[in-house]
Structure 1
C-alpha cells in the first residue's frame, strides 16, 4: 500500500508532464457558416447526451463549450454507452482534459525520499489524538469489521484505504468519460490541452507539510462513505448515467472524494478550481467548439463552474444541477 501511494503521487507529476507534451499538438479546421455551425453543435449535444455522461452546452458568441461532468470509479455493472460520447468528441475542435502539474524528476524523488511522512502520523501520535471520541469509535468499528489498523497511518493513506480497499469503489470499473474522450481525441489527432493546476514543487510541499488536522474532514467523510457500503457506490454510477447530478453530488462517496486530497485540500483545491475556471473562460473566447471533461463536483457543485457561468449571463443548457 505504501508503494502504491507513492506511485500514485509520482503519477500526478508524470501525467502532468505528459499532458503538457500532448498539448503541443495542433490542428487547423475550416469554420462553417453560422447557421450550419449551430446545427452541428446541436447534433453534438443531442448525441453526447445519449452517452450517459451529463453534459452542458455553454455559448458565448461564436464559441461553444461542451462541458462534460466526469466521475471516478464508474462500476462496470452500470450500463452506459460511451460510443456516443466518442462520436461527439470527434466533432469538437479541441479538448480540455485532465489537470496537469508542472513537475520534475526532483519532485518525484523528494516524494519517494520522504514517503514515510505521507504514510504515517507524527511520531507518538495516533488517530485518537485528532478524531473526536465519536469519530474514533466509528473508525474502531470499521477496523474491527475489516481487520485493519488505521491508528498510526496518515489520514491521507487511511482515507484512501477506506475508500479503495474497504469500499472497493475503484475496482472492477468501466471506462470513465475522460478515458473515452482521450482515446477518441488521440486517434483523431484532435488537440488536447491539460488544465495546469500548479507546480510540482508546490504540490509536494503541501503533501509533506500538511498537518493531520487539515485532513480530519476528509477522514470523517471517508468513514461515512465506508459505513454506507457498496450500495450507494452502485447508485452513484446509475445516477450519473441518468443525469441525476444532485443525487451524485449528495452521495457519500462523492462527498468524500470532494473533501479529500486534492480537491478538498485548502491549498491545492482552490488552485485546481481556479485553473479550470480560467481554462473554460479561455475556451469561451475562442471560436468553434471546445469539449471540456472536468470533475462533476467542480462543474455542478455549489459555486461551481456552471453557477459561475450562469451568473455571468451566459446561456447554459443541459441537465439540472441545482
Structure 2
C-alpha cells in the first residue's frame, strides 16, 4: 500500500520536474489485525515464504517489508531456486499516469499550495516540522512553507528515508533483476489508473487530516530509522513477527486520507485473485507482495483460504 500512495505523491510532485496529535481511534485500517496462524517464522534460510497450492501448481509467495537499508545483503538462494523455471513472477499492483495526465497533475499540484495559516495556528507542530525539514533539506530549509500539510508530509517522509538511506525500492529492485536473469519478466498483479486516485486524494482531503498526517510523519522521523532497520533485518532472517513490528505511522497517516482504505482493500483483493488465477496453469510461479497485506485478517492469504485453497506457512 505504501508504495502505491507514495507513487501517487511522487507522480504529483514530478509533474513540475512524540505524539502531538494522535490518530483517531475510529480509523478504518484494513490491515490492523493479522491471522496468527499465518505469522510463522521461516525454516529455510532468508526471508519467509508462503506456498499456495493445488493438484498441479505451486505459487511461492514472498512477503516484502516497507524498505531496506542501503547496501543490506540478504540470502537470495531460495528466491533464485524458485525463480528457476517459474512461469510467472507477480508483483504488487501499481498506479500509473500517462503524459496526457501531466496538465491535470500540474493543476492539482497547484491546488496544494498553502498560505501558511495552519502554521500560525499550530506553532508547536510548525516548529517540529521546521527542525525536521531543515535536517533533510539544509539548502532549502523553508521549502515547506508554500504547501499544504498533506504534500509536505508525503515529501518529508520520502526525504527522511533517503537521508537515512532507507530504500523503498528494495528488495523489489533486486528481485526484479534476479527474475530477469532467470528469463522471467515480473509483472504487476494489476495496473490502476493513477489520476482518479490522485484527484480524490487532493480534492477531498481535509486540512485536519493533512495535519494529523504531518504529525504522524514527524513522530516516525523523531523515532529515528533504527526500528525500520531492525524490522528489515528480521525480514531478511525470516522472523515474520519481528518484521511486522516496523512502524506503521506512515500507513495510519495515509489511511486518514480519502479513498486510501478502499485502495488497500482493492489491492488485497486483486492480489488474491491474481494468485488464484496462477493456479490454473500447471507448474510453479512466484508472487512478491507486501507482507502485512498477506497475513492480515481478510488479507490475501486469508481470502485464499476462505475459497478453500491450500495455503502453507513458512514453517511447513
Assess same fold via TM > 0.5.
yes
Asked if 1:58 is matched to 2:52, the reply is yes
Aligned to 1:281: 276
Asked if 1:235 is matched to 2:230, the reply is yes
Larger helix share, 1 or 2: 1
Aligned to 1:34: none
Aligned to 1:291: 286
CA distance in structure 1 between the aligned counterparts of 2:7 and 2:169, rounded to whole angstroms: 22
Aligned to 2:153: 159
State the Cα distance separating 1:108 from its structure 2 match.
3.0
The answer to whether the Cα contact below 8 Å between 1:93 and 1:191 also exists between their aligned partners in 2 is no
Query: Structure 1 residues 146, 108: closer, same or farther in 2, change over 3 A?
Result: closer
User: In the TM superposition, what whole-angstrom CA distance separates every residue of 1:166-211 from its partner, at most 9, and x where no partner exists?
Assistant: 3547626497232223223323332533222422332332243231
SS across alignment from 1:53: coil
SS across alignment from 1:69: strand
Aligned to 1:36: none
Structure-2-length-normalised TM-score: 0.70
Give the aligned CA root-mean-square deviation in angstroms.
3.8
Aligned to 1:26: none
CA distance in structure 2 between the aligned counterparts of 1:145 and 1:188, rounded to whole angstroms: 43
CA distance in structure 1 between the aligned counterparts of 2:14 and 2:295, rounded to whole angstroms: 24
User: In the TM superposition, what whole-angstrom CA distance separates every residue of 1:101-158 from its partner, at most 9, and x where no partner exists?
Assistant: 464322233213432234x34x5642677xxx7xx74563353365456565334432
User: In the TM superposition, what whole-angstrom CA distance separates every residue of 1:203-246 from its partner, at most 9, and x where no partner exists?
Assistant: 33224323134555543432321121122122121111122323
CA distance in structure 2 between the aligned counterparts of 1:94 and 1:314, rounded to whole angstroms: 19
| Long gaps (5+) in structure 1 | 14-46
Aligned to 1:270: 265
Query: Structure 1 residues 193, 246: closer, same or farther in 2, change over 3 A?
Result: same
User: In the TM superposition, what whole-angstrom CA distance separates every residue of 1:244-264 from its partner, at most 9, and x where no partner exists?
Assistant: 323333322x44246427998
Aligned to 1:221: 216
| Long gaps (5+) in structure 2 | 1-5, 16-41, 135-140
Aligned to 2:303: 308
CA distance in structure 2 between the aligned counterparts of 1:225 and 1:53, rounded to whole angstroms: 25
Q: Figure out how many residues of one structure are paired with residues of the other and give that number.
A: 275
CA distance in structure 2 between the aligned counterparts of 1:248 and 1:110, rounded to whole angstroms: 39
Query: Structure 1 residues 303, 12: closer, same or farther in 2, change over 3 A?
Result: farther
Aligned positions of 1:158-177 closer than 5 A:
158-168=152-162, 171=165, 173=167, 176-177=170-171
Q: Which has the higher contact order (CA 8 A, sep 6+)?
A: 2
Asked if 1:126 is matched to 2:124, the reply is no
Structure-1-length-normalised TM-score: 0.69
